[in-house]
């Protein structure tokens, strides 16, 4: 699987840790930065990952900032992106089964490395269930179309 990853300074350490895990799992990674704990603006990196997902250059995205909130708000502005901010394994798995989330968002100042790694691995492996859930996503797609016309 091809995965785009990005963070701000507050998510840098967790992103680096998870990047290592993705590499060990033989995933193809595009790391859009940031490259250190020097202060940066999370939207700059959130937009890059979200665009790569939206334009089909990668299969999935992963974003990390301090809380995950700013990154999830940013990514969900981009058409076709369904970014899920997760804090527990159940939510991570359900975000794939029911919502077909294509970006996982984590809080580097909130979630420990062990849990983050378990959530990421489970999220990558879990398929979308489709069916009635697909019909609900179509409603979101329609909303996006309406919003873009304005």
Could you list the residues that contact ligand RB5 (CB under 6 A)? 8, 10, 42, 65-67, 69-70
Nearest to 32 by CA among 11, 24, 125, 111: 11
Phi, psi of 50 (to 5 degrees): -60, -40
| 42 or 123: CB nearest ligand RB5 | 42
| 8 or 31: CB nearest ligand RB5 | 8
Cα→Cα distances 96→33, 100, 109, 126, Å = 25, 4, 24, 6
Instruction: State in angstroms the smallest separation of the CB of 105 from ligand RB5.
Output: 10
Catalytic residue, from 9, 57, 65, 148: name it.
65
Instruction: State in angstroms the smallest separation of the CB of 85 from ligand RB5.
Output: 10
Instruction: State in angstroms the smallest separation of the CB of 110 from ligand RB5.
Output: 9
Give every CB contact of residue 54 below 8 A, 6+ residues apart in sequence: 78, 79, 80, 81
Instruction: State in angstroms the smallest separation of the CB of 130 from ligand RB5.
Output: 32
Catalytic residue, from 57, 87, 98, 133: name it.
98
Active site residue 65: yes
48 C-beta neighbours (distance < 10 Å), count: 17
| 13 or 100: CB nearest ligand RB5 | 13
63 C-beta neighbours (distance < 10 Å), count: 30
Q: Which residues participate in catalysis according to the annotation?
A: 65, 98
């Amino acid at each position: 699987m091809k995965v785009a990853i990005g963070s701000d300074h507050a998510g840098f350490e967790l992103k680096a840790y998870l990047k290592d895990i993705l590499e060990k799992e033989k995933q193809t990674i595009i790391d859009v930065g940031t490259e250190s704990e020097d202060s940066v603006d999370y939207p700059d990196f959130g937009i890059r990952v979200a665009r790569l997902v939206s334009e089909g250059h990668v299969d999935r995205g992963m974003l990390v900032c301090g809380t995950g909130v700013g990154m999830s708000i940013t990514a969900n502005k981009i058409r076709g992106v369904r970014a899920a901010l997760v804090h527990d394994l159940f939510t991570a798995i359900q975000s794939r089964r029911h919502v077909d989330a294509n970006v996982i968002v984590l809080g580097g100042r909130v979630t420990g490395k062990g849990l983050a790694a378990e959530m990421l691995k489970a999220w990558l492996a879990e398929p979308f269930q489709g069916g009635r859930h697909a019909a609900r996503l179509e409603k979101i797609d329609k909303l996006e179309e309406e919003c873009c016309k304005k």
